[in-house]
Structure 1
Amino acid sequence: MEIMNISKQYKGIDRREAILEEAKRFFLEKGYAETSMSAIAAKVGGSKGTLWSHFPSKEALFRAVIERLAGEFHKVYTDLLNPQAEIEIALNQYGCHFCRNIIEPDKRALFRLAIVECWRFPEVGKIFYEAGPQTAMRKLASYFASAMEKKQIRQEDPEYAASFFLHSLCARSKASRLYNIPQGNLANKEEIEADVSQIVSLFLKAYAP
């Protein structure tokens, strides 16, 4: 009966999207090791063959889930890094959205999942890093390279600048995300904006042309 209800829930939704949505819930709640393809197939409804036709392995399914989440994340932030906007405004907008995003429950759960599971399943850490932090760093580095060419900031290694800026944004929330400590003021909109404003100010002073 439960399987039938889940199937009705996903009626009219693309089968691949339904699988990805249910797989995300399984991975975040149970972890990589405890999630099985059979359990996901049972929840979504249909045969295991249908699931395997879309995703030939659990690793492939996990990669698709992460890339789907990361794709939504990166699209927003690519739009925020508008090369036509004043760099201080663009970085403040980027930083505020970034900090709010990484403390969302799903993102915190995903971060901890990658940290815990990567020691037993190195592919988990690799998939998470490539789709998330590495891609974010490359996109931001590209933005900084353009800003350096326009002499908005000093000419330095753009990848190092991107790493420096992103790690600064993550610093205060890292303990909360890693150890599941309550957010406190870190989840407050005004607190985030104040933190990001200070980080952007320090960054632009450090990279002043």
Structure 2
Amino acid sequence: MADADQIHRGRKFDQVLEGARMIFLRDGYDGASVDDIAKEAGVSKATLYSYFPDKRLMFLEVARTECQRQAEQASETIDFSQPPEVVLPQAAEQIIDFMASDLGQGIYRLCVAEAERFPDLGRAFYASGPQLVHDKICAYLEQSVARGELEIDDLDLAAHLFAELCKAELHAKLLFGMSCCSSLDKARVIKGAVEMFLARYGKKRA
């Protein structure tokens, strides 16, 4: 049975989900206890388990809704009618901020750790997180090409490359628990990612 089919919705579902979100953001996946989640949500453990059979599925649903929320926030805060020099740094900042967050790191580690036993977990997260980001970047790049601001033959590849440029240095350091992602670290990577992307795909001027 697919992971999504094991989640049951009811009157207190949103209440439970919000409680789980608060605890996961505070304690991370490993540190979060079902007792604390039930207490934060104001429900019994029996009620909690009636919606989510295990903590892993609860975390996945929190991750899915949080990714959607951030994608919607990006749509509201970024003016996609602006040129790449304006839009791409803002998009890069949002990608890095989520990647560096406790939730973002927890999702990544959980998906990697559970990939063999629960392949649906990784696929579900990818669809609700990275795929959403990818689709939005693709759509923007297509508009920018139509406006004559960029020259891109393969929009799909270009969107993937931009996301990977935003991870330069920071992603590996986060995985190994090294200190990074200060405001200076982020600014350095964002500047380099945008400059490299535009050097490859920016409109060549005579």
Fold shared per TM-score above 0.5: yes
In structure 2, the residue matched to 1:139 is: 136
Between 159-168 and 98-107, report the one with greater CA deviation: 98-107
Residues 195 and 61 of structure 1, relative CA distance in 2, 3 Å threshold: closer
Residues 105 and 43 of structure 1, relative CA distance in 2, 3 Å threshold: closer
Asked if the contact 1:80–1:90 (Cα under 8 Å) also holds between the matched residues in 2, the reply is no
Residues 43 and 101 of structure 1, relative CA distance in 2, 3 Å threshold: closer
Residues 106 and 168 of structure 1, relative CA distance in 2, 3 Å threshold: same
- Amino acid in the other structure paired with 1:200: V
Question: What is the CA–CA distance in structure 1 between the aligned matches of 2:175 and 2:117, rounded to whole Å?
Answer: 18
What pairs with 1:1-209 in structure 2 (closer than 5 Å)? 15-24=12-21, 25=23, 28-30=28-30, 41=38, 44-47=41-44, 50-51=47-48, 55=51, 57-58=53-54, 61-183=58-180, 187-209=181-203
- Amino acid in the other structure paired with 1:160: L
Question: What is the CA–CA distance in structure 2 between the aligned matches of 1:114 and 1:60, rounded to whole Å?
Answer: 11
- Amino acid in the other structure paired with 2:105: R
- Amino acid in the other structure paired with 1:171: A
Asked if the contact 1:111–1:178 (Cα under 8 Å) also holds between the matched residues in 2, the reply is no
CA deviations on 1:26-49 (whole Å, 9 max, x unpaired) are 693338xx977x985576444566
C-alpha deviation, 1:203, in angstroms: 0.6
Q: Percent identity?
A: 23
Question: What is the CA–CA distance in structure 2 between the aligned matches of 1:43 and 1:200, rounded to whole Å?
Answer: 41
Instruction: Provide the TM-score with structure 2 as the length reference.
Output: 0.76
Between 141-150 and 44-53, report the one with greater CA deviation: 44-53
Instruction: Provide the TM-score with structure 1 as the length reference.
Output: 0.75
Structure 1 runs, 4 residues or longer, greater than 6 Å off? none
Residues 144 and 81 of structure 1, relative CA distance in 2, 3 Å threshold: farther
Structure 2 alignment gaps of length 5 or more: 1-10
Aligned-pair RMSD on alpha carbons? 2.9
C-alpha deviation, 1:17, in angstroms: 3.4
**Number of aligned residue pairs:** 189
Structure 1 alignment gaps of length 5 or more: 1-13
Asked if the contact 1:81–1:143 (Cα under 8 Å) also holds between the matched residues in 2, the reply is no
